[in-house]
Structure 1
Amino acid sequence: MHNRLFRTAIALITALAVVAAPLGASAAPARIKDIVDIEGVRDNQLVGYGLVVGLNGSGDSLNNTPFTRQSLTAMLERMGVNTRGETLRTANVAAVMVTANLPPFATQGTRIDVSVAALGDATSLQGGTLLVTPLLGADGEAYAIAQGSVTVNGFTAQGDAATVVSGVPTTGQVSSGGLVEREINFTLAAQHSVRLSLKNPDLTTSRRIALAINDLIGIPVAIPSDPANVRLSLPEHFNGNIVDLLTDIEQLVIQTDQQARIVINENSGIIVIGRDVRVSTVAIAHANLTITISENPTIVQPEPLSFGETAVEPRTQIDVMEDGTQLAVVPESISLQELVDGLNALGISPRDLIAILQTIKASGALQAEIEVI
């Protein structure tokens, strides 16, 4: 009965949150389950070293990759074949690094996908089979083993005078090739308190999450400890455990907030401007400098009856032209659209826009954080 009342309140609060969301809010409403991670509920990264066999001559050259030769020799010895001191001539084996993510609460026998990447000078892993490879966690313990046929997305086609490579044939995947052997002991239902970690830390969003949870429960069970975390405690006499409580609150809709930010990718010239970016009134002068270099070589003939030779005299002409410098005024913006329209009125390229935004920021007229990636 208690949980049914909670779920009825969730539907009512969710509807009110959508209706009451102010126009022009800084960000779209989002469910709590979409903007937070629950403490302890996460993947764990695994890594291992193994061998891929069955390659069609595209494996490691054993003379250039001693670790592949040593691994192959050790594997054959475990199989009862002694090859120490012998010269191995095979190009059908490749040393690889194997990686995988161990999902939260994965039990023994669970199948997971694994990724394979060549470690030596192999040219392709197409058609190969990964041999049994232990996958280790950060503590050095084996949590899974991997084996199976490697699926490669790329390919290599080679002829006498040309080679075509599509994708990356030295990496691949073994679908459901990992088998979980060790479980991570974490019982979420036995916890009396957990932390909700915001995927995009923000003080305002953290406080709004806590207020929404407390309004639903009726008592202060959620405390915003910092911009990235909200501490959630299981209330006394609650008809259920922490999993039931998380199920009740994860559907709550929160009006998220974020810091005004401009993200710039200098390599590609991509600029992403957040909605809350504001700019004070500024005047911007922008000029383009064009330099033209032309070569007009002249042929020089020797004098008549002389022993000279015909020569070519280089002549270079350099023209420098600077477009008329214009002083444009970008008015104080009240929306992102006005800011973009004001900057586009200058008729500049994205790379020039990057420099202008950084200069406006240096002048103190841009109320936003600029992040260059």
Structure 2
Amino acid sequence: MKQLMIRALIAFLATVFVMQPASADRIKDLGGFQGIRSNQLTGYGIVVGLPGTGDDNLEYTVQSLKAVASRFGLQLPPGANPGMKNAAVVLITADLPAFAKPGQKLDITVASIGKAKSLRGGSLILTPMLGADGQIYAMAQGNLAVGGLGAEGKDGSTIVVNVPSAGRIPEGATVERAVQTGFENTPALTFNLARADFTTAQNVASVINNRFGFGTAQAIDAVSVSVRAPIGGDVRATLMSNIENLDVVSAEPSAKVIVNARTGTVVINSAVRVGAAAVTHGKLTVRIDEQQRVSQPAPFSQGQTTVEQRSGVAVEEEKRQMFLIAPGPKLSDIVKAVNAIGASPADLVAILEALKEAGALRAELIIL
């Protein structure tokens, strides 16, 4: 049954991954313009209103609450150490989208960094969100939505579902400062491919030049294409919209065979070629059988009843003839050859490695 399943999977891959003619993709699906990206924001704050599931007198929690109280002119006595089970120190993270403007809302994620057992029912106190440059770009506050659940019995037994020490606040932060991208006045726009390829970069530049005139775009390297654009946000927005929707033929990817040795998954792309090679594949099985036999002495003898251990060791080797893999320009030829060998996923890894070392596999072999 296992061999039938493997052969069915390989046959399916043969029908799906046979070489197809190159198709056109939109430029916007191949990458993005430089500088137009999201930025990460972080913050350090306090969640209050917890039903006894907070940090419980951690020193930095006390210091944080004293700092919050000082905002309102309240000074706690130096020796005061209030119970903190209804509060927790948290870290807040969020992504600031490109071109986000002041007043827009952001979703934020809140996670405990102390001993808090659950943040369910808590409220985040007003917290600044900082960028990598240390500047404040948003302010966060609101009631948490926690998907996890935790419960504890008096005998010490506990149950936890998902992660109750982390939650989200939809639209919990308000943008206070926009990130300057230089989109309106940079000398040129740069389009970066998601996957480096010199051929694809040249194709993108050629398509843009054919549409907007020779010299508009120039491939800088295998990733970047420089596009000349007039100064002005409105003009550039129109130009980028037109460029993003142009169709371009992507280059055929480099030949790769990806093998997940833990799960036995093998993925072969359509660019893989195979040369002539002879492969033999066998299977060696060692079987050990242990049996116990009771030895009964003859009547009226001086012997004693004993238990004898009998072991049987056998070695079975499946005999298979050497199989010839003929040179094939298509992935289907490789699939047929592997199917004829009848290799299991684990054995297939060894066969592919051997073909690679023998120079018969024209592909990069990646083992995860």
TM-score w.r.t. the length of structure 1 is: 0.79
Partner of 1:31 in structure 2?
A: 26
Equivalence map 1:64-103=2 (5 Å): 65-79=58-72, 80=74, 82=76, 84-103=78-97
1:24, distance to aligned residue in structure 2 (A): 4.9
1:40 and 2:35 correspond: yes
Partner of 2:215 in structure 1?
A: 220
CA distance change for structure 1 residues 89 and 286 in 2, over 3 Å: closer, same or farther? farther
The alignment's C-alpha RMSD in Å is: 3.4
1:349, distance to aligned residue in structure 2 (A): 2.8
1:323 and 2:310 correspond: no
CA distance change for structure 1 residues 54 and 290 in 2, over 3 Å: closer, same or farther? farther
2:54–2:115 CA contact under 8 A, matched in 1? yes
- Alpha-carbon distance between aligned partners in 2 of 1:83 and 1:293, rounded to the nearest angstrom: 77
- SS of match in other structure, 1:134: strand
- SS of match in other structure, 1:188: coil
TM-score w.r.t. the length of structure 2 is: 0.80
Q: 1:362 corresponds to which letter in structure 2?
A: E
Match of 1:108 among 102, 109, 134: 102
1:190–1:242 CA contact under 8 A, matched in 2? no
Match of 2:138 among 139, 144, 150: 144
Q: 2:235 corresponds to which letter in structure 1?
A: N
1:201, distance to aligned residue in structure 2 (A): 1.4
Which shifted more, 181-190 or 214-223?
181-190
1:131 and 2:114 correspond: no
Partner of 1:268 in structure 2?
A: 263
CA distance change for structure 1 residues 311 and 41 in 2, over 3 Å: closer, same or farther? farther
Which shifted more, 66-75 or 132-141?
66-75
CA distance change for structure 1 residues 46 and 289 in 2, over 3 Å: closer, same or farther? farther
1:26–1:275 CA contact under 8 A, matched in 2? no
Q: 1:42 corresponds to which letter in structure 2?
A: R
Q: 1:265 corresponds to which letter in structure 2?
A: N
1:77–1:83 CA contact under 8 A, matched in 2? no
1:244 and 2:238 correspond: yes
1:188–1:243 CA contact under 8 A, matched in 2? no
- Alpha-carbon distance between aligned partners in 2 of 1:321 and 1:109, rounded to the nearest angstrom: 75
Match of 1:207 among 180, 202, 207: 202
Partner of 1:349 in structure 2?
A: 344
1:175 and 2:170 correspond: yes
Cα offsets for 1:290-329 (capped at 9, x unmatched): 3445554677999x9xxxx999887766554443355333
- SS of match in other structure, 2:170: strand
Match of 1:287 among 282, 286, 289: 282
- Alpha-carbon distance between aligned partners in 2 of 1:95 and 1:243, rounded to the nearest angstrom: 43
Q: 1:137 corresponds to which letter in structure 2?
A: G
Q: 1:39 corresponds to which letter in structure 2?
A: Q
Which shifted more, 321-330 or 115-124?
321-330
CA distance change for structure 1 residues 76 and 32 in 2, over 3 Å: closer, same or farther? same
- Alpha-carbon distance between aligned partners in 2 of 1:145 and 1:324, rounded to the nearest angstrom: 72
- Alpha-carbon distance between aligned partners in 2 of 1:345 and 1:157, rounded to the nearest angstrom: 56
1:224, distance to aligned residue in structure 2 (A): 0.9
- Alpha-carbon distance between aligned partners in 1 of 2:20 and 2:129, rounded to the nearest angstrom: 47
- Alpha-carbon distance between aligned partners in 2 of 1:88 and 1:265, rounded to the nearest angstrom: 54
1:188 and 2:183 correspond: yes
1:283, distance to aligned residue in structure 2 (A): 2.3
Match of 2:116 among 105, 122, 125: 122
CA distance change for structure 1 residues 312 and 118 in 2, over 3 Å: closer, same or farther? farther
CA distance change for structure 1 residues 178 and 292 in 2, over 3 Å: closer, same or farther? farther
Which shifted more, 338-347 or 151-160?
151-160
CA distance change for structure 1 residues 345 and 99 in 2, over 3 Å: closer, same or farther? farther
1:222, distance to aligned residue in structure 2 (A): 0.8
1:117–1:170 CA contact under 8 A, matched in 2? yes
Match of 2:327 among 301, 323, 332: 332
2:19–2:271 CA contact under 8 A, matched in 1? no
Which shifted more, 135-144 or 79-88?
79-88
Which shifted more, 27-36 or 157-166?
157-166
Cα offsets for 1:340-373 (capped at 9, x unmatched): 2322332233233233323322222222223344
- Alpha-carbon distance between aligned partners in 2 of 1:47 and 1:90, rounded to the nearest angstrom: 24
1:114–1:176 CA contact under 8 A, matched in 2? yes
CA distance change for structure 1 residues 250 and 291 in 2, over 3 Å: closer, same or farther? same
- Alpha-carbon distance between aligned partners in 2 of 1:319 and 1:94, rounded to the nearest angstrom: 65
